[in-house]
Amino acid sequence: MACLLQINYENLPESEALSSHIQQKLEKLEQFFPRLIGCNVTVGLPHRHSNQGEHYFVQIDMTAPGTEVVSNRQNHEDVYVALRDAFDAARRMLEDHARIRRGETKQHTEPTHGTVARLLDGFGFIEGEDGNDYYFSAENLVDQAFDKLSEGMAVKFLPEAAQEGWQAKRISTGKQRNHPG
């Protein structure tokens, strides 16, 4: 590992297991982006005196030639989940930086058309014109309130592969334009 790693613990004791996990996460990141110079990871608990569940916070500050990447808004009640989310966010930022340095731009996906197949409590499924079912939640709607949706309604959306299966993002129920063919 060429990258200099520094781990800081705030309001919790140092953990050899956690430090080892952080080191493994950094090594995986270095396989993707070997030009990392330094990485400072801070893991901690906020100053609170409550009996409710605490949320760990993770901040990652990485230095690479031409950039500094800071991932600092990852909170979760499970420290390993907070670490995963922080390293995933840092990886995405490094990918964006590398893409910009190579002069590449992000390719925008064309919307897919489908119909609302099933509506449940705050989420549902869209059947795409490709025959796949796409999960969505109320947060994915762009121009419509969830309670105004109905089964069979025509929509367009951006498909995204997720760990759990296909998801629909940026769902629109606006007028579907038919392009002259």
The confidence score (pLDDT) of residue 180 equals 46
The confidence score (pLDDT) of residue 39 equals 94
Asked whether the beta carbons of 110 and 101 are under 8 A apart, the reply is: no
* Cα–Cα distance for residue pair 1/39, rounded to 1 Å: 11
pTM listed for this prediction: 0.56
Where do the structural domains in the chain lie, given as residue ranges? Answer: 4-101, 112-172
The CATH homologous superfamily to which domain 4-101 belongs is: Ribosome hibernation promotion factor-like (3.30.160.100)
CATH T-level fold of 112-172? OB fold (Dihydrolipoamide Acetyltransferase, E2P) (2.40.50)
The confidence score (pLDDT) of residue 178 equals 47
- The chain-wide mean pLDDT, for the chain, equals 84
Domain 4-101 and domain 112-172, same fold? Reply is no
Q: Count the helix, strand and coil residues of the chain and give each as a percent rounded to the nearest 5.
A: 25, 40, 35
